[in-house]
A and B are shown apart, each in its own frame.
Chain A
Amino acid sequence: MLTQIATGQQKNLYHTPPANAVKGQNLIISTSLVDISSPIEAVLYYKTSLSDSYLEISFINKGFNWEATIPKFAITDDGLEYVIVFRFSQDRILSYPRIDPFNNPYSLQVIENPLEQKSSLSNEAAEILILSPDIGEVLEPKEVFIAASFFLTQNIDESSVRVLLNDTEVTSKIIFEDDILSYSPNSLTRGDYAIKILMKNKEGDSIRPFSWGFTVGQKIKQSKNVVSYKGRVSNRLSSERISGSVLNVAEVQGKFNMDFNWAQLDVVNRITSRETPYLQPQNRFGGKFKFGNFLKVSFGDFYPRMNEFMIDGKRVRGLELNTDFKWVKFDFIQGELNRVVQEQRFSNGGYRLNSSLSTKNNDGTFTYFLDRTGYTFKRNIVAAKLSSDLFDRFKLGVHFMSVRDDTNSVKLNLSNAMFSSDTLVIGITPGQYNFDTFNSAVKGVGSQLRVVSSDWSGKKPNDNLLMGFNFGTSFDDKKLNLDFDWNLSLYNRNTWGGALSKSNLDTALDDSLDGYIGQQYDAAGMKIDGDVISISQIPFDPLALEDVFILNTNMTPLVPYDINSNLLSGLINMPSSAFRFSLKGNYTNSKILIEYRQIGPEYVTLGNPFLRNNTRQFTISDRASFFKNKLFVNFGFKHLDNKILRTTVNPLNTNTFFANFNFILGPGLPSYAISLQSIGKNNEKTKLDSVGGSIIDLREDSNISNNMFAVTIPIKAYGIMHNVTLNMGNITNLDNLSSKRDVGYLFPKTDTRTIALNITSEISKDLNTISQVSQTKLDIPSVSNNSLQKTSYVWTNLSSSANYRLVDDRILLKGTLTLIDNNSKIRSQLIGFRGGIDYNYRSNLTASLMSFIRINYIGNNKGLSYEEGFDINSSGIIFNINYNFNNEPKAS
C-alpha cells in the first residue's frame, strides 16, 4: 500500500488542515481533488493520538469539496490524528499526508470549546441559587418570574452582573437588591428560554456564567403519556456528474426514540440506492434498547468498542448485550463483521478460468477448471467481556473474541458470472462466457469443465482468536489512574482444509511420521539434535478444538510462546501479544500521561484491521493550562520503534517531540494557536546494502519539522463583526545523511507550505459571509538525469460564500464562488459556483436544495500537449427534506 501511495504522489489532493479540533464538537475535514477522475473510495481514517487503531469514515462529495465528519466522541483530550486516502481505479491512491501516512498521520491538537472558554475564564463558580423558575419548569406565560439568590456568593462585583434571556440583554430590567436578583418579563411568547447571568469578581475577572432554562407553554396538569417518542426522517436525492461519471443517489434516513420511562428504545436506519450485493452493506438498520441503567441490548448495525486491541468501533451486524450491575459487568457481541458477497459485477469477478489447473486426459481431451473469485466470506464474530469495578477503585476484566470466515457462505455455482476464455482453451473461441455457455462449448469439443470446490484463488478464509485481561486502580482521590491491558491473538490466514490432527502435526514441518514435530535426520537416518516437540507432549488434539480455533500450518504464530526464553521475557515479548500500561493524571490544570504499549509483530485482530502491529511506543505528555485557563499547553515526547524481536536487525526508531500552545484571551480578543512538532527517524543502519549485485541505500536518518501557526482576530468595523483567521503551516524534511549519499539518491519526502486567510463577517443578523484565500505549495522530489530535482506544485484557492436569511428566517439563501489555480508542470484553473436554498416550511419540516457546477480551464501551457479550453469538471443537484416529530407537549 505504501508503495502505491508513494507512486500516487503526482496527483492532486488539496487539503488544508484545520487549526485545531474543538473538544466535544464534530469536526468536518474537507479536501478537494483537482483535475482528476472520480475515486472509487474516499476514506478518512482517524484515531486519538494514543490509540494505535484507526476508525474510518467515508468522505461525501459536496461538489467542490469532499467532506467527512469526525464524530465528537472521538475528539478528546488525547488529541486527534487523521489520514485521508482516496483510492482510484488501477490501485492508484492519493493520501494526506503524502508519505507513509499511516505511520505519519496528521496530528491535530484538541482544544476546549472557545465559546465555553470565553465564558469560563475564571475557574470561580458563583454560588447562585435559582429561586424561580425551577430548571426545566413549564410555566404559563403570565406566571414567569425570574429570581436568583446571591446570598451565598462572595467577591461578586454586583455592578458587573448582566442578565441575558435567550441571549437578549435584559440587565436594565432586572431588580438586584440585597442579594436577590429578580425580573418579571411582561409577556413571553411560548417556547424554550435560557437565562444566563454574567458577572465578574471584584478583581475584574469574568466568572463562569450561571444559566438555566425553562419553558413557557401550556402547562399540562397531568401527563397522560406513558410513552413519549420523537424521531426524524430525512431524505437526500442527488444527481451528480463528476469527471464524466454520473452518480444518482437516493437515500432515506430515520431516527426514532421511544421513552417508556423505565426503558428507552432508539432506532436508526438508512436506506440508500447505493446498496448493492456486490459490496458490504450500505443500508443501515440498528437499534438500542436500554432497560434502566443495567441492561442495554443493541441489534442490527452497531459499533462496539470493547477494547482497542480487540474491536474498537468497527461495524457489526448482529446483537450486543451490555449489562452493568455495578460490581459485575458483562458485555457480549454476536454477529457478522462482513456479510457474504458472492461476486463482483465485472468480467472474472465471480469465476476465473484457472489455466494452471487444466489437465490433459488420457483420451486426449482436457479438463478445465473454473476458480472462484470476487467473493467475500461472511465473517462471524463472537466476543465477550466480563469485568468488575470493585469498591469503585479496582477494575478487573477478562475478555475473548473469535472471528471466523464462514467458507460455506460463498456459493460454488454462479449462473450469470461472466469470465473470459483465452486461446489456451483448445477449440473454443476466446471471449466472454458464463458457466452454462462455456460448459456447453467445452462439452462440444469433448472436454470437461469443473469448478474448483475449495481453496479458491480469491480471498482466503481467516480465523482469529483473541483473549486477554485488564486491571486498573486509581489513587489520589481518583485523579491518578493506573491501567494495564494484555491480549493474545491467534490468527489463521487460511483455514481451507480445517484443523490438523495430531498425526498431521507430525508431518507438518517434516516428512517423517516419527512422533516428533520438526525432527531432522542426517543422511544415515540418525536424529539431528535440535528443537523438537514430541507429539505425546501435546496435551490436546487440535482437531478437537476446531470449533474454537482452527489450528493448522497457516496459523500465526505457529507456537505463540517462545519455550526457550525465560517465563517473564517470553510472556512480554510474545510476538502475538499486545499490551498497554498507562498512568494518567487528571488534575485541575494538568492532564499527565505516561504510557507504554507494545503490539507484537504477529498480533492480529480482525475486529480492528487498522491496528498497527510490530510497534513499541512510549509516550509522556502533559496538557496544562495557565493564567486562569487562558493558555493551554500540550507538550510531550513519543518514542516508537519495532524492536520487539531480538532478531530485528535494523529497527526503525521514531522520536517525536511536540508542543502545542493555545492562547484564548477572552471574548472579543484574539486567540492564537501554535503547533510545533519535530520527528526524528533512523533505522540504525550504517552501511549500504547489496541487492542482486547492485548497491542500494536503505539508510534512514531524517528529521521532519511540522509547524503551524494560527491566529484568530475579532474585528468590529463600521458596525460589522469580522473574525479574521490566519493559518500558516510548513512541513520541512531534512536528510541527515545527505552529505554521505550518492548524488542520484532520492530522498522521497515532500516539503509543504500552506497559508490561509479566512474572514468571517456578520454583516447583519440576516447576512453573513465567509471569504478565504489560501495557498499550498509542495516540493516533490524526483530523480532526473541522475540528479535530485524538486518540482513545485502550487494550488491557490480563492473562495467566497454568503448566507442570507429572509422571510423571518424561514428562507436561507446560500452561495459560494470558488477559484482554484493549479500551477505545476501544467497550469489549470477550476472555477466553481455552488448555490442553494433552505426553506423552513414549519419548525419541524425543512427542505433544502443545492446545486453546483465546476468548470475546468486549461490554458496554452507553452505548447505542451494539453487540450486548451473549458470543460465541465463536475456538476450536480442535491435535494434534502427533514421532518421531525414527537408526542411531547408543544411549546407553541
Chain B
Amino acid sequence: MIKKLQKRKIIALFPLFLCFAMAGEKIAVVTKIIGKAEYVREEKSPKNLKRGFVVENGDEILTKAGAFVALVFIDDRSALKIREKSEVVINGKKNVNRISKKIDLNNGTIRAQVKTNRNFLVQTSVSVASVKGTDFWVISNDKVGDSIIGLEGLVTLSNRISGEKIDIKPGITGISSNDGSLQAFKSDPKNTPRDLIQSDGQDKKLEIIFKDSAGKQKKLIIDYK
C-alpha cells in the first residue's frame, strides 16, 4: 500500500521533475539589446535583460517601448528578434542534436529566422504558426488577432479557435482573427516591421576567401538580406 502511494506520488511528481529538469536547460543566447528589456524566470520578479544572457527553457522576455532584443538558439543559429512591447516565452526541449522550439507570443511582434525547418513553432492565444520555411514576422494583438508576414519559405498558420489552416508564402500576409477566421493577402511593405539590426531590406554580401586543394585562392560570395 505504501509502495503504491509512493509510486503514485512519483508519477504525480514526475511532470514537476520534468519541468525542473527542462527549466534549467540553456537553449539560446541574447546577442543584442536595444532599449530596455526584462526577463522572468520561474515566476520570480522581472530582472533586467543584458546582452550575453543565456536563455533557459521557460524564460519569459518582456520588451519595453522602443526596445529590441535578438537571441540566437544554440543548436542551429535560428534567430528570434523581439520588437518593442512584446511578451514572449521561450520554450525549448533539447534532443540529441537539436532543440525543439516553441515560442509563446502573448503580445507583440517577433521575427523568426529559422535555420532548420523543423521543430519551430510560434503560438499565440489565437494562432499557431508552424515553420516550414525560414523567415517570417509574427504580430500578435490580443484584441484583434495575429498577423503572419512571410518573408522566405513557408509557414503554416493555424487558427486555434476554428482549427483552419493556411500556408503563408513569401510576400503573403496571413491574418488569424479572434473570431476564428483566417485570411491571406499580398503583403504591404509599409506594414512590414523594421528589423533594427538589419539594414533596411538591402541586400548584403558576405565574401569569404578560402583556398582550394590546389592552393588557389577563391572567393565565396554569399548574397543575403
Name A residues whose Cβ lies closer than 8 Å to a Cβ of B. 23-24, 72-73, 75-77, 129-133, 135-136, 143, 145, 147, 149, 151-152, 175, 177-180, 182, 184, 221-223, 261, 586
Nearest chain A residue, comparing its CB with the CB of B222: A135
Nearest chain A residue, comparing its CB with the CB of B24: A178
> What are 6 A-B pairs with beta-carbon distances under 8 A?
A73-B215, A129-B74, A131-B72, A182-B54, A221-B199, A222-B200
| Complex contact B199–A180 (CB within 8 A) | no
Set of chain B residues within 8 Å of A184, measured between Cβ atoms: 51-52
Q: A184-B52, A261-B205 are in contact. Are A129 and B77 (CB under 8 A)?
A: yes
| Complex contact B214–A180 (CB within 8 A) | no
| Complex contact A75–B26 (CB within 8 A) | no
- Determine which residue in B54, B74, B206, B208 has the highest number of CB atoms from chain A within 10 A of its CB, and name it: B74
| Complex contact A143–B32 (CB within 8 A) | yes
Nearest chain A residue, comparing its CB with the CB of B75: A151
Nearest chain A residue, comparing its CB with the CB of B211: A24
Nearest chain A residue, comparing its CB with the CB of B54: A180
Using A129-B75, A149-B75, A180-B74 as known contacts, list a sample of 12 further A-B pairs with CB atoms less than 8 Å apart, ordered by residue number in A: A23-B215, A73-B215, A77-B215, A131-B31, A131-B74, A132-B31, A135-B206, A136-B207, A145-B51, A178-B26, A179-B74, A222-B202
| Complex contact A222–B199 (CB within 8 A) | yes
Nearest chain A residue, comparing its CB with the CB of B71: A131
From A76, A129, A177, B214 is in contact (CB under 8 Å) with A76
Q: Is B213 an interface residue (CB 8 A)?
A: yes
CA distance A184 to B216 in the complex (A): 36
From B54, B99, B217, A178 is in contact (CB under 8 Å) with B54
Q: Is B179 an interface residue (CB 8 A)?
A: no
| Complex contact A24–B75 (CB within 8 A) | no
Q: Is B29 an interface residue (CB 8 A)?
A: yes
Set of chain A residues within 8 Å of B199, measured between Cβ atoms: 221-223
Set of chain B residues within 8 Å of A143, measured between Cβ atoms: 32, 51
Q: Is B164 an interface residue (CB 8 A)?
A: no
Q: Is B42 an interface residue (CB 8 A)?
A: no
Chain A nearest CB, measured from B96 CB (Å):
10
| Complex contact B217–A24 (CB within 8 A) | yes
CA distance A132 to B214 in the complex (A): 32
Chain A nearest CB, measured from B72 CB (Å):
5
| Complex contact B52–A182 (CB within 8 A) | yes
CA distance A548 to B221 in the complex (A): 43
Set of chain A residues within 8 Å of B54, measured between Cβ atoms: 177-178, 180, 182
| Complex contact A149–B74 (CB within 8 A) | yes
Nearest chain A residue, comparing its CB with the CB of B94: A151
| Complex contact A152–B29 (CB within 8 A) | no
From B32, B52, B208, A135 is in contact (CB under 8 Å) with B208
CA distance A184 to B30 in the complex (A): 12
From B52, B202, B206, B217, A136 is in contact (CB under 8 Å) with B206
Chain B nearest CB, measured from A155 CB (Å):
14
Set of chain B residues within 8 Å of A179, measured between Cβ atoms: 26, 74
Q: Which 5 A-B pairs have the closest CB atoms?
A: A24-B215, A149-B74, A132-B31, A178-B26, A23-B215
Find residues 18-65 in chain B having any chain A CB closer than 8 Å to their own CB.
Answer: 26, 29, 31-32, 51-52, 54
CA distance A326 to B215 in the complex (A): 23
Nearest chain B residue, comparing its CB with the CB of A586: B213
Chain A nearest CB, measured from B216 CB (Å):
6
Nearest chain A residue, comparing its CB with the CB of B205: A261
CA distance A77 to B212 in the complex (A): 11
From B29, B76, B215, A180 is in contact (CB under 8 Å) with B29
From B31, B51, B202, B213, A223 is in contact (CB under 8 Å) with B202
Find residues 187-220 in chain B having any chain A CB closer than 8 Å to their own CB.
Answer: 199-200, 202, 205-208, 211, 213-217
Q: Is B6 an interface residue (CB 8 A)?
A: no
Set of chain B residues within 8 Å of A76, measured between Cβ atoms: 214-215
Set of chain A residues within 8 Å of B205, measured between Cβ atoms: 261
Chain B nearest CB, measured from A20 CB (Å):
14
- Determine which residue in B26, B99, B207 has the highest number of CB atoms from chain A within 10 A of its CB, and name it: B26
Chain A nearest CB, measured from B217 CB (Å):
7
Set of chain A residues within 8 Å of B206, measured between Cβ atoms: 135-136
Set of chain A residues within 8 Å of B52, measured between Cβ atoms: 145, 147, 175, 182, 184
| Complex contact B215–A145 (CB within 8 A) | no
CA distance A426 to B207 in the complex (A): 77
CA distance A133 to B52 in the complex (A): 11
Set of chain A residues within 8 Å of B216, measured between Cβ atoms: 24, 73
Chain A nearest CB, measured from B203 CB (Å):
9
Nearest chain B residue, comparing its CB with the CB of A219: B199
- Determine which residue in B51, B76, B206, B213 has the highest number of CB atoms from chain A within 10 A of its CB, and name it: B51
CA distance A136 to B224 in the complex (A): 13
Set of chain B residues within 8 Å of A180, measured between Cβ atoms: 26, 29, 54, 74
Chain A nearest CB, measured from B220 CB (Å):
11
CA distance A76 to B199 in the complex (A): 41
| Complex contact B74–A77 (CB within 8 A) | no
| Complex contact A147–B31 (CB within 8 A) | yes
| Complex contact B214–A77 (CB within 8 A) | yes
Set of chain A residues within 8 Å of B51, measured between Cβ atoms: 143, 145, 184
CA distance A147 to B97 in the complex (A): 19
| Complex contact A145–B74 (CB within 8 A) | no
CA distance A221 to B194 in the complex (A): 13
Set of chain A residues within 8 Å of B217, measured between Cβ atoms: 24, 72
Nearest chain A residue, comparing its CB with the CB of B76: A129
Chain B nearest CB, measured from A515 CB (Å):
57
Set of chain B residues within 8 Å of A152, measured between Cβ atoms: 75, 97
CA distance A119 to B141 in the complex (A): 52
| Complex contact B29–A132 (CB within 8 A) | yes
CA distance A143 to B72 in the complex (A): 16
Nearest chain B residue, comparing its CB with the CB of A22: B215
Nearest chain B residue, comparing its CB with the CB of A75: B215
Chain A nearest CB, measured from B50 CB (Å):
9
Set of chain A residues within 8 Å of B74, measured between Cβ atoms: 129, 131, 149, 151, 179-180
Chain B nearest CB, measured from A550 CB (Å):
39
| Complex contact A145–B211 (CB within 8 A) | no
